[in-house]
Amino acid sequence: TTRTPEFLGLGRSSDLFPTSNSMGEVIVGILDTGVWPELKSFDDSELGPIPAGWKGECQVGKNFNSSSCNRKLIGARFFSKGYEAAFGPIDETMESKSPRDDDGHGTHTATTAAGSVVPNAELLGYASGTARGMASHARVAVYKACWLGGCFGTDILAAMDAAVADGVDVLSMSIGGGMSEYYGDTVAIGAFTAAAHGIFVSCSAGNSGPMPSSLSNVAPWITTVGAGTLDRDFPASLTLGNGDKYSGVTLYNGKQLPDSLVPLVYGGSVSHSSSGSFCMAGSLIPEKISGKIVVCDRGGSARVQKGVVVKAGGGVGMILSNTDSYGEELVADAHLLPSAAVGQKAGGAIKKYISSNPNPTATIGPGTTKLGVQPSPVVAAFSSRGPNPVTPAILKPDIIAPGVNILAGWTGAVGPSGLDSDKRHVNFSIISGTSMSCPHVSGLAALLKAAHPEWSPAAIKSALMTTAYTTYKSGEKIKDVATGGPATPFDYGAGHADPVAALDPGLVYDANVDDYLGFLCALNYTPEQIKSTTHRDFTCHTSSKYTLGDFNYPSFAVPLETALGGEGGAGVSSTIKYTRTLTNVGDPATYKVYLHSQTQAVKISVEPATLSFSAQYEKKSYTVTFTATSKPSGTTSFARLEWSDGKHIVGSPIAFSWT
Active site residues: 32, 105, 435
434 in contact with other proteins (CB under 8 A)? yes
Q: How far is CA 477 from CA 147, 162, 385, 441, 489, in A?
A: 40, 42, 17, 22, 11
144 in contact with other proteins (CB under 8 A)? no
Site for other proteins in 59-88 (CB under 8 A): 79, 81-82, 85-86
Minimum Å distance from CB 432 to other proteins?
Answer: 10
599 in contact with other proteins (CB under 8 A)? no
How many CA atoms are closer than 13 Å to the CA of 28, on its beta-carbon side? 40
Burial grade of 348 (CB within 10 A; 0-12, 13-18, 19 or more) = middle
Minimum Å distance from CB 133 to other proteins?
Answer: 18
- Locate all alpha helices (DSSP H) within 81-141, ordered by sequence: 81-87, 105-114
Mode of pairing for the β-strands spanning 399-402 and 223-228: parallel
Say how many residues make up the chain. 659
Interatomic CA distance for residues 299 and 577, integer angstroms: 44
Interatomic CA distance for residues 334 and 123, integer angstroms: 9
> Contacting other proteins (CB under 8 A), which of 58, 164, 262, 448?
164
Is the CB of 146 or the CB of 654 nearer to other proteins? 146
Site for other proteins in 7-36 (CB under 8 A): 32-33
Minimum Å distance from CB 113 to other proteins?
Answer: 14
Minimum Å distance from CB 106 to other proteins?
Answer: 9
Interatomic CA distance for residues 147 and 34, integer angstroms: 9
Q: Which stretch binds other proteins (CB under 8 A): 21-29, 89-97, 169-177, 630-638?
A: 169-177
- In degrees, rounded to 5, the angle at the alpha carbon of residue 431 between the alpha carbons of residues 428 and 433 is 140
Strand partners, 610: 592
Q: Which stretch binds other proteins (CB under 8 A): 38-46, 52-60, 183-191, 511-519?
A: 183-191
Contact at 8 Å (CB) between 133 and 116?
yes
> Contacting other proteins (CB under 8 A), which of 11, 53, 150, 254?
150
Interatomic CA distance for residues 479 and 402, integer angstroms: 14
Q: Which residues of 403-439 are buried (b: 16+ CB within 10 A; e: fewer)?
A: bbbbbbbbbbbbbbbbbeebebebbbbbbbbbbbbbb
Is the CB of 123 or the CB of 188 nearer to other proteins? 188
183 in contact with other proteins (CB under 8 A)? yes
> Contacting other proteins (CB under 8 A), which of 50, 58, 123, 146?
146
Minimum Å distance from CB 537 to other proteins?
Answer: 6
Minimum Å distance from CB 209 to other proteins?
Answer: 11
Contact at 8 Å (CB) between 404 and 431?
no
Interatomic CA distance for residues 654 and 286, integer angstroms: 54
Phi, psi of 586 (to 5 degrees): -120, -155
Is the CB of 325 or the CB of 581 nearer to other proteins? 325
> Contacting other proteins (CB under 8 A), which of 18, 99, 176, 386?
176
- Binding-site string for other proteins from residue 186 to residue 225, where x marks contact by CB under 8 A and - marks none: xx-xx-xxx--x------xxxx------------------
Q: Which stretch binds other proteins (CB under 8 A): 47-55, 458-466, 528-536, 587-595?
A: 528-536
> Contacting other proteins (CB under 8 A), which of 53, 119, 125, 184?
184
| Binding-site ranges for other proteins (CB under 8 A) | 32-33, 79, 81-82, 85-86, 103, 105, 146, 150-154, 156-158, 160-161, 164-165, 174-178, 180, 183-184, 186-187, 189-190, 192-194, 197, 204-207, 433-435, 438, 528, 531-532, 535, 537
